[in-house]
Amino acid sequence: MKTTVRTHKIPGYGATLRTSKRLTEQAVKVVHRAVPGSMPDVEVILTSERGMAECVAAAHLALAGSLGRSVVRRAEGRGKQTARDAHACAIPRPDGSALVIVNVNHLPAPSEFARIIVHELVHCMQFSRKDVADEYVSAVREGLGIERRSRRQRRGYDRMVQQDEYEAYGREYLADQLIPGATAA
């Protein structure tokens, strides 16, 4: 499992990048030991809200495998919505690795980054489980208007997402191993 951390369109965040690299390396080890599954190669991108929207749209287009004009517009819209609503997100990649995109504007302290990165790395571990990444790709393709799924498939996916979120929030206590008191707030 290879881990890389980089910035995207945010100059002057050298100290944040160094701290993020250190915490991500530690978090990968902690999460890998505590969560069932296998840790894929992970790329963490630190960016702003606008950069997050771009990265999410590009990742969804790579998953969808289609570059029609309407699909690109929908992907950009979904990327902007995700950037507005979330501090970070984890996205599986077609090659089996995972992408974690973090909005640095929502990181007041390293303890907050530790909690967020543990949460997202739990999602990365979940992508290695049977059918999880395939369901994610199917949901992205449906959201971009490429394919349709039945109501039963959508409900099953929603249940799976709810369980995965419950597990990820339940494992945030692991951030205390990186920075004592990270989850005290």
Q: What is the DSSP string of 102-150?
A: EEGGG-SSHHHHHHHHHHHHHHHHHHTSTTHHHHHHHHHHHHTTS----
In a domain, 40, yes or no: yes
Question: Dihedrals φ, ψ of 167, to 5°?
Answer: -65, -45
Residues 111-142: tens digit of each pLDDT: 999 999 999 999 999 999 999 999 999 999 99
Rounded Cα distance, 23 and 68, in Å:
39
**183, 173 contact by CB (below 8 A):** yes
**25, 3 contact by CB (below 8 A):** yes
Q: What's the pTM?
A: 0.95
State yes or no: pLDDT of 185 exceeds 70: no
State yes or no: pLDDT of 27 exceeds 70: yes
In a domain, 183, yes or no: no
In a domain, 99, yes or no: yes
State yes or no: pLDDT of 184 exceeds 80: no
Q: What is the pLDDT confidence band of residue 83, given thresholds at 50, 70 and 90?
A: very high
State yes or no: pLDDT of 160 exceeds 90: yes
- Mean pLDDT on 99-120: 94
In a domain, 17, yes or no: yes
Rounded Cα distance, 128 and 50, in Å:
29
Percent of the chain with pLDDT over 70: 99
Question: Domains in the chain: how many in total?
Answer: 1
In a domain, 136, yes or no: yes
In a domain, 94, yes or no: yes
In a domain, 22, yes or no: yes
- Mean pLDDT on 174-180: 93
Domain that holds residue 148: 3-178
Q: What is the pLDDT confidence band of residue 107, given thresholds at 50, 70 and 90?
A: confident
pLDDT for residue 163: 97
Beta strands in the chain (DSSP E): 3-8, 42-47, 88-92, 98-103
In a domain, 118, yes or no: yes
- Mean pLDDT on 16-45: 96
Residues 42-76: tens digit of each pLDDT: 999 999 999 999 999 999 999 998 788 999 999 99
Q: Average pLDDT of the chain?
A: 94
pLDDT for residue 123: 97
